[in-house]
Amino acid sequence: MIFLTVGTLFPFNRLVLAVDKVVTEGLLEENIIAQVGKGGTKGQNIKCVEVLGKDKFDKYVKNASCLISHAGIGSITTALRHNKPLLVMPRLKRYGEHVNDHQLGTARKFEKLGHILVAYSEKELPEKLEELKSFVPQPRKTQAEAVINRISKFLNEL
């Protein structure tokens, strides 16, 4: 089972419909469960729910073979914490999906570190879903000491 989540604040219809299209075309045979957000579009060939409680959400993450999501930091860190392969598609301002394009920067950084796969458009999605089947994310190495030093430096400069 693949778990698709777009968060709970905003729908991300472009991603949900793109994944549904891949399933419709027979390019992805694994069952998909999608949390589409309040008022989100529901695909015809994937099981969709608007919002899940924490227990049910955690259960889907745990049982999923991999995850598909927007490029939100919460979704990315959840996948890394559970060592789940993750494919993201960033929300874009030009489609009214977010107020700016910060998810592009987030996606690029985590992709460069080998933590996630990124589909930058619906056209890339089928190829990236194929890659996701064998993708092994690089483990995240926390850098607590570096963060502490940067915060200390900032506070000392105040």
| Strand order, beta sheet including 66-69 | 47-49, 32-35, 2-5, 66-69, 86-88, 117-118
Nearest to 61 by CA among 36, 78, 43, 40: 78
Say which residues have a Cβ less than 8 Å from residue 123's Cβ, sequence separation at least 6. Answer: none
Tell me the three-class secondary structure of 8-44, residue by residue: CCCCCHHHHHHHHHHHHCCCCCCCEEEECCCCCCCCC
Q: Rounded CA gap, 125 and 147, in Å? A: 34
Give the tens place of pLDDT for each residue, 3-57: 999 988 789 999 999 999 999 999 888 999 999 998 899 999 999 999 999 999 9
SS3 of 131, please? helix
| Residue indicated by tokens 């483990």 | 139
pTM: 0.89
Give the tens place of pLDDT for each residue, 104-115: 999 999 999 999
* Whether the predicted pLDDT of 146 surpasses 90: no
* Whether the predicted pLDDT of 158 surpasses 90: no
Token code pair at residue 8 = 């709970």
Looking at residue 20, its pLDDT comes to 96
Give the Cβ contact number of residue 95 at 10 Å.
10
DSSP letter at 92 equals -
Which residues of the chain form beta strands (DSSP E)? 2-5, 32-35, 47-49, 66-69, 86-88, 117-118
CATH topology of domain 2-157: Rossmann fold (3.40.50)
